[in-house]
Structures are given as structure tokens and as C-alpha cells.
Copies of this chain bind each other. A is one copy, B any other.
Amino acid sequence: MERILNIETIKHTGEKVRVCGWVNTRRDHGKLVFIDLRDRTGLLQIVCQSALVKDIKEEYVLQIKGIIKERPENMVNKEIETGKVELQAENVEILAKSSPIPFDFMAEDLNLKLPTLLDYRPLTIRNPKIKSIFKIGEHITNSFRKTMKDLDFTGFESPNIVPAVAEGGADVFHVDYYNYNAYLAQSPQLYKQIMLGAFERVFTITHVYRAEPSITTRHLAEYTSLDAEISFIDSWENLMDICEKIIKNMFSDLEENCQKELSIHKVKVPLSGKKIPRIKMREVQQIILERTGRDNRKEPDLQPEDEQEICQWAKEKHGSELVFVTHYPTKKRPFYTHADPKDPDYTLSFDLLCRGLEIVTGGQRINDYDKLTANIKKWGNETKNFSFYLQTFKYGLPPEGGFALGLERIVKQVLNLKNVREAVPFPRDMERIDQRLSTLQKKKTKKSKR
């Protein structure tokens, strides 16, 4: 007999079926036992003679054969999708046993401290509310890919082991690569640009790595980047147009296909208005000054509270919980960023903020070989470390740019999660790789004596 899924039982009233799943709850009523059996589609009530399920406890995995019966009207459970039926068990087989569960990780409103949530990730991920976070993540990734393919982008696999540091800064992870120094990629930037020479428009969904020296609610040491790069742009504003299309498609897709997941979290997708506003960083600082009295007009970047405030402004003025902030200072951006020809202290770059947090960063790149070479030096790098990459520009690359969406940050902002670590099944940070670092082996080098 083929196994059927719990959700399918409602179409099989009166028939004998086989179902499989985990014991979600067990309620004993004398000789009768009621089990809520959980599979990937939800719960199903099983009614059995107690003798059939003697030693069976929560999280045991069962295979049950029996007859699907309609429940009497007054016993219908409207809370679950199979609430009109139940299965009268004739045969119960244990597929796997479980130790007594350490706490009620299936609770509807599981409210654990983050370290506990993550220490027990293999269990907490079974909770429907937590599980739904990763369904949202998968939808976002698929929606990004779909828009990319609709716009004739070519997908590729970008390597994660790289020979040089492209984004600058000290926050890189070192890899011992056959006794040579290598690094984990901070971004697929250079590879996207190389690929443009063959494909004109490319995207990659890849992991990137930042050895963040501190713990915040918005940084991960390993995260998923949804990366696009486009050549033959007429203006750097084309990039924001495409980015806006991706985001709007993504949010429509969530609204259409993830109502269940959104409602578990009691959230709606962020408003993006008719058109997402675009505003220069210096103008943002002016608005902040006017709205809050905080004078950050000389700062080279926005502070987290400024990002919150400008999103609030965008919502009030433009009905959008998203805002493009443009023209970040040249010295704060990587070597490949294109300066604004009208004001070279600022760049043709943008961040997209959503509900107070940067979820996309992008901009036009330098495609002129001589300017790029000069900038590599100016940023303190050696051109010989970039000679492979530089071939792309030495032999002709059109005007181009691109951007990167941070998957986990989008999930966090859509679901109003408190911490980006909740948005990824297996977050990496300076305290944890699955287990807490303190339980792992320290590196045996002089550096580790701290």
C-alpha cells in the first residue's frame, strides 16, 4: 500500500490507508489513545486502542494503517486542515524511537532565548513557525532566480575559495590552501564581472563570508548572497530599476504563495508603494537632521538609527517601507566602484533599505582598464594579485554594474525577526558553528594564545 500524506486523507474517507509521521502529541483516554500524527503537510488525528501504542511517546516515528472516518460534526477540529476526519488505527509500526523530549519544542509560540534555540536547532526546526521561516527563504531565492531568468540572465557557480581580498577590510577568513594563503570569498564580485564578457547579464546564488569581529543582530559570518551583474547599461539607474523589479516580484510571490507562513508570523510583506523612492545619502542626513535634530551630515555612512528613521520617512511620504539611498562616499566603497563624474567624492552606488535595514547594495563599476588599475593601487592593493581579473577589462568590457541581495536579511525584515540568526538554519558567528566554539578545539598556533 502506497503511503499517503496527512493532507490527502480528507479525500479518502471510508478507505484503508497507510500514513507515516511523528507523534506530535498523545492523549490517553482509558483504553483509547488519541495521537496527533505530524508529517510535512500537517497533523492528522489517529484513534487507537491503547494496546497498539503502549510505549509510544512524542517524536516517535510511526507507520499506521487504518480506516479514514469522518468525524461527527461536533468533533470537527477547525484548527487543522484534516480536522473533519480521523484515522482509526488497525496496525501501528514504530519506524524510529525517540528519547523523552527535553522541552516542548513544538509549542505554538516557542519563545526561547536565541542560544537555546540554536543549541537545539535539529529539534527547534521541527516547530511549524520556525520551519516556515525557511520556506519563506526558499521562496525568496526561487523568486529571485525566476526574475533573473525572465530577464535573460545566465546563472553560474561562483567559487568560494579565492586568492585575493576584493572588498578590502580585515574581516576575511583564511584558508590553508595546499600551504598557500587563500581566503573565503567576501563576494562573487570579480567573477560576476568576468562572466559578463561571455554572457552580458549574469547572476549567482552563493555563500559569502565575513569574519565580523563583533556580534550584532544583522551580521552573519557566512550568508547567502543573491547576486546580479548587468552590462550594456545606459545609466546606473537601470540597476535600481532591475533591483526594484526583483523586489516587487518577490513580495508579490510571497503574498500569493506564502499566506500561511506570513500569517503564522502575523506579518504582511513590506509596502513598496508605486515606486521606491531614491534619495542621496547627504539628503538623507539632512532629513534626519530636520526630523530628529541629529546632525550626522559629516558622517561617511548612515547609522542604524538613521536607516530606521529614513524608512519611517519613506513610509509616511511615499507609502513605501523601502528606500534606495544613493551616492555613498567614494572612500567608503570598494576599488571597483564607479565615481560620479559630476562629483567624484561620491559614487554611483546605492543601498536598498527595508524597514530600517540594508538588504541590497549595488552600483555601477569601473569598466575602464586604466582607471581600474589605478584604483587597485590607490586602494592599497597590488595589481599583480588581480591580473587574472584585469584581463576582462584589458580586452573590452562595456559599462556595467550590479548588486547583491542578502537573503537572510530579507527574510528577517519580511518576517520581523529580531535577529538575522533566526533566518538561517545553521548560522555561523564568532561564538558558534552549530555547537558553541568553546566546545571545539582551539587552533594550535601562536595567534591562538589570547
CB <8 Å contact, A398 and B163: no
Q: How far is the CB of A366 from chain B (nearest CB, A)?
A: 11
Q: How far is the CB of A126 from chain B (nearest CB, A)?
A: 5
What's the tally of chain A residues with a CB closer than 8 Å to chain B?
Answer: 102
* Cβ-closest chain B residue relative to A101: B395
Query: A175 with B179: in contact, given A98-B396, A157-B207 (CB under 8 Å)?
Result: no
A437 to B175, CA, bound (A): 14
CB <8 Å contact, B177 and A433: yes
**Which of A97, A101, A142 has most B Cβ within 10 Å?**
A97
Query: Inside 8 A of A437's CB, which chain B residues have their CB?
Result: 177-178, 180
**Of B95, B387, B428, the contact of A435 (CB 8 Å cutoff):** B387
A170 to B387, CA, bound (A): 33
CB <8 Å contact, B392 and A20: no
Query: Inside 8 A of A134's CB, which chain B residues have their CB?
Result: 154, 156, 198
> In the complex, which residues 366-407 of chain A have their Cβ closer than 8 Å to any Cβ of chain B?
367-369, 384-385, 387-389, 391-399, 407
Q: Give me 12 A-to-B residue pairs in the complex whose CB atoms sit less than 8 angstroms apart, sorted by A's number.
A: A20-B398, A40-B152, A59-B396, A61-B398, A161-B221, A163-B435, A175-B175, A178-B211, A178-B437, A181-B441, A182-B433, A389-B434
CB <8 Å contact, A388 and B161: no
Kindly state whether residue A116 has any CB partner on chain B within 8 Å. no
**Of B98, B137, B407, the contact of A394 (CB 8 Å cutoff):** B98
Query: Chain A interface secondary structure, helix, strand, loop or mixed?
Result: mixed
Query: Inside 8 A of A334's CB, which chain B residues have their CB?
Result: none
Beyond known contacts A177-B433, A179-B443: 18 more, CB 8 A cutoff: A20-B398, A40-B199, A40-B201, A59-B396, A61-B398, A96-B368, A96-B399, A97-B369, A122-B197, A122-B389, A123-B395, A125-B194, A125-B197, A134-B154, A134-B156, A159-B433, A173-B177, A175-B176
* Cβ-closest chain B residue relative to A433: B163
Kindly state whether residue A195 has any CB partner on chain B within 8 Å. yes
**Which of A60, A159, A389 has most B Cβ within 10 Å?**
A159
Kindly state whether residue A83 has any CB partner on chain B within 8 Å. no
CB <8 Å contact, A426 and B99: no
Kindly state whether residue A71 has any CB partner on chain B within 8 Å. no
The 3 lowest CB-CB distance pairs between A and B, nearest first, are: A98-B396, A122-B391, A59-B396
**Of B154, B393, B426, the contact of A138 (CB 8 Å cutoff):** B154
CB <8 Å contact, B180 and A175: no
Query: Inside 8 A of A120's CB, which chain B residues have their CB?
Result: 391
Q: How far is the CB of A230 from chain B (nearest CB, A)?
A: 12
